[in-house]
Structure formats: C-alpha cells, structure tokens
Amino acid sequence: MVETSHDRHGIYQRRHFFIVLCVVFTGAVCTQHFFLRALANLRPTRHSHKLLPAELQNVSGPDDTEEFSRDVTCIEPGLPRGAFHVVIAGWDFVEHFADHYLWDLGLTNALFVLYRRTRPELPPRIWKGPCGMRGQEIVMLPNRGLEASAFYDYLIKHFDNPPLGLAFLHGHAAISWHTSCESVLSRVFLYYNKVHDADEMDIPNMLTLTSKSDGRNMKPFEWFGGRKLLDGKLASSNAKRIETLNLCKAILSDISTRGNNITQFVGSAVHRPETHSCCASFVLKGAQFGQIELRVLQNLKALMMGTDVEQKVAATHCFEFIVYAMYGDDSTSVARTWYLQAEAILPKIKQTTAFVKCSRERAGHIS
C-alpha cells in the first residue's frame, strides 16, 4: 500500500527543509519545491535489497530474477515503495534491460514495468536494482493494440491501488522523433521529486513528454508532434476503419463523465485544446486512474486486442488522441509552471549519468 501524507510526515519531519525562491515567466515569486533540494543533496549509494512486494511475488522463478548493483545517485529522501511507476510499453525482448539509462535517474523505490509482446517461450523476468528500484516484465500476447493495449492493461491491473504517479513511455523511451532525453529525464525527475511534497491542487493531472527529438524545443504548448487527425484518410470507404471508429465511439459514449468531450476527438478534425499532443508519452497522476470507469477500460483493451479492427486506427484515435481528454487538466496554468521548472533544472540533468547514457544511445540511433 502507498503511504499517506500523514505517514510520510513522520518519515520526513526529522529532515531539514529549505526553500528556494524562483521567478517564473509571469514575474511572480513562487516556491520551488523539493526537487532543487534533492538535486543539491544527491549522493551515490549502494543499497541492499529487501524482499519483493506482493505485486512482484510469483511473477517468475528465481532463475528469472536479475539482481544488479552499480553506483547510482539515489534521490533521498525517496518515495515509499509502490508510490511511483515507470511503464515502458515495448514489444521486443530487451536482453540487457538492467543497463537501461532510466535506472540511472535514481528514482528510489520506483517500479519499472516493461511490456513484451514477443518470445512467448521465455518466462517474464524481474529485476532488483540499486536505490530500492525493481522491475517487472509483463508478457502480453498476442501483439496487438500497440502502446494503447499496454496502457489499458496496466490501468486495469492497478485500478484499485494506483501509485502517486506514473510515467508512461513507449518501448523506445526517450529516443524517438516525438520525444527526447531532455524532456523525458527532466520532467520525470521533476515529477518524482515534487509529487509527495506538493499540495494536491498544485499537481497537474498530466505532463506530456512530447518534444522535438533533439531536445531543442522544450515548449509543450508550441509543438504537439506535428501529427494530424487523419480525418481525410478515415473519410475513405475503408469499412474496417469506419467500423473501428464506431466501436470506439460506442465505448466512449458509455462514460458517465467527460464522455461527450472525449468522443468529439475520435475521427474528427475538431480543434484540440492545448496539451492534446500526439504520441501518448506522459506522466499521469495516480489519483486520476478512477476518472474513467473500470468497465470502460476493459472494453477499450478488448477493442485494441480485437482482430476485427484496424489496430493502428484504434490505437491512435481511441488512445493517443483522447488520453489527455480522459485524464488531463481543464486548466493548463498549473502544468505550465511545472514545464518551466523542468526546463530550469535541465542544466543539472545534463550532468547526470542517465542523460549521458541516453544521449550516447540517441547518437548511435541517429547514425
């Protein structure tokens, strides 16, 4: 179970807090929370590993558990175990996942959930890493629904016991045409550090991780991936595409809240409000998991996994283009502050091992 704010007060009350004042783009004085203090107090440590929590027990046998340790700068004080998840909605078998640069962010006690959609003969694996971090592999077959089916599957599994925060990434994580090492590492790091220390009303429901691939454009309200709503293609006589959209709309119309607002984005060129970026890489507040009813999520997953739909159309229009309407904010004023703060810590993020490794991998990918 995730500890409450009352429980955490007892944990952190003996620690010294100090406040760093900043001036944001409005010229107003604001309080930058825990993350700058964490940056100043990071120290490399090696952690011993406790028993895996119940959610990871019986996932795989001892031979499938990889325990590894290396010098990682752990965030301290960290969130309690189970409070922050990083979901990587991949499809291929990642042979050396323990070497992934995301571990080097030092997200103390975080759970990494790696989806695999191939190699059914190989059992799912678990990892026990430094800083109390651990990983769980989920083998989800058949390989249908792209990232959308993984997202809905994860939400269903954690619907009744969500973390404080979730970072949702594609299999490529920070290396793609629609995201970057800069945006992913800075915003995930910021969110982890601030989520337990900020007032509930000051935490945005979602942060997009979309950016230009080289990290030079970190303005989430100026660039949304450049992808259109494909309404022209979907207006064709392709019966399977039309049926896919109709099935999606039928499921969404059953939502008791936000239903009409969400349905309008399916197969339509209607103007999307800001933060409705493409590509569905984001950070989501756990308190939002219950925004959409469980039965609706189950129906959406079934749609993505179905053989009678065009899966690319389903995953795009019934996930990518609607997820911010499903779980996002009605106002973007809070999110704007967080994006600016993430950009402000970028110089320090670029000095981390995680960023160096991510940048090196990106350079190899481009070449």
- Could you tell me the residue ranges of all domains in the chain? 18-221+335-366, 231-278+291-327
CB 61 within 8 A of CB 367: no
The yes-or-no verdict on residue 269 having pLDDT over 80 is no
Q: φ, ψ for residue 210 (rounded to 5)?
A: -70, 140
CA distances from 119 to 122, 123, 143, 238, 290 (A): 6, 9, 11, 33, 33
Give the C-alpha separation, 280 to 283, whole Å.
10
Q: Say how far apart CA 233 and CA 253 lie, in whole Å.
A: 23
Asked whether residue 171 carries a pLDDT value surpassing 50, the answer given is yes
Q: Is the pLDDT of residue 47 over 80?
A: no
- Count the neighbouring beta carbons within 10 Å of the beta carbon of residue 84: 27
Most confident listed range (10-14, 43-47, 105-109, 253-257): 105-109
Please state, in angstroms and rounded to a whole number, the distance separating the CA atoms of residues 31 and 284. 22
Q: Decide if pLDDT at 337 tops 80.
A: yes
Return the closest-CA partner of residue 303 out of 230, 245, 242.
Answer: 245
- Model confidence at 335: pLDDT above 90: no
Long-range contacts of 47-51 (CB under 8 A, 24+ apart): 47/74, 47/130, 47/131, 47/132, 49/128, 49/132, 49/134, 50/132
Question: Residue holding tokens 């935490």?
Answer: 203
Q: Between the ranges 2-11, 43-52, 281-290, 322-331, where is the mean pLDDT highest?
A: 281-290
What is the per-residue pLDDT for 25? Answer: 35
Q: At what angle do helices 333-344 and 181-195 cross, to 10 degrees?
A: 110
Supply the mean pLDDT for the chain: 77
How many other C-beta atoms are found inside a 10 Å radius of the C-beta of residue 29? 9
3-state secondary structure of 334: helix
Residue 278 has pLDDT above 80, yes or no: no
Instruction: Classify residue 92 by its DSSP letter.
Output: S
Residue 177 has pLDDT above 90, yes or no: no
How large is the C-alpha radius of gyration of the chain?
20
- Measured CA to CA, the distance from residue 7 to residue 15 in angstroms comes to 14
C-alpha distances (whole Å) from 118 to each of 142, 171, 305 are 8, 13, 15
Buried/exposed code over 308-321 (b: 16+ C-beta within 10 A; e: otherwise) = ebbbebbbbbbbbb
DSSP 187-234: HHHHHHHHHTTS-GGGS-SEEE----TTS----TTT-S-S----HHHH
Q: Which two tokens stand for residue 124?
A: 């799912």
DSSP letters for 123-145 = PP-EEE-GGG-EEEEEE--S--S
Residues 6+ apart with CB under 8 A from 99: none
pTM comes to 0.79
Give yes or no for residue 42 having a pLDDT over 60. no
pLDDT score recorded for residue 240 = 86
Strand partners for 170:
89
Residue range 24-40: average pLDDT? 38
